[in-house]
């Protein structure tokens, strides 16, 4: 004898593999959210880099200004 699976009179769940199924929609939403998250992560890293650069440049300008003031005092 061969097992022919569940008989037709039993309730069975049918998985809809159609592209419009809720699971497909959720997968697409997750994919979009991941892409957006990746984009935001890149923007955050660029912003951190920019802030770091500007802080270093500001420190450099402050040091240059201090040296300029010291030279001015020496010249007087």
Residue 38 lies inside a defined structural domain of this protein: no
Q: Which tokens is 36 given?
A: 């957006």
Residue 59 lies inside a defined structural domain of this protein: yes
CB atoms within 10 A of CB 24: 13
Residues whose CB falls within 8 Å of the CB of residue 34, separated by 6 or more in sequence, listed in order: none
Residue 31 lies inside a defined structural domain of this protein: no
Residue 69 lies inside a defined structural domain of this protein: yes
**Total structural domains within the chain:** 1
Residue 53 lies inside a defined structural domain of this protein: yes
Residue 60 lies inside a defined structural domain of this protein: yes
**Average pLDDT, stretch 72-76?**
86
Q: What long-range pairs does 14-21 form, CB within 8 A, spacing at least 24?
A: none
Q: What is the pLDDT of residues 15-65, one digit of tens each?
A: 555 556 779 999 999 999 999 999 999 999 999 999 999 999 999 999 999
User: 71: domain range?
Assistant: 47-76
């Amino acid at each position: 004898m061969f097992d022919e699976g569940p008989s037709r009179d039993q309730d069975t769940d049918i998985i809809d593999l159609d592209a419009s199924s809720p699971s497909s929609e959720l997968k697409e939403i997750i994919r979009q959210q991941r892409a957006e998250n990746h984009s935001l992560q890149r923007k955050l890293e660029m912003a951190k880099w920019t802030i770091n650069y500007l802080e270093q440049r500001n420190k450099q300008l402050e040091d240059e200004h201090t040296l300029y003031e010291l030279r001015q005092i020496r010249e007087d």
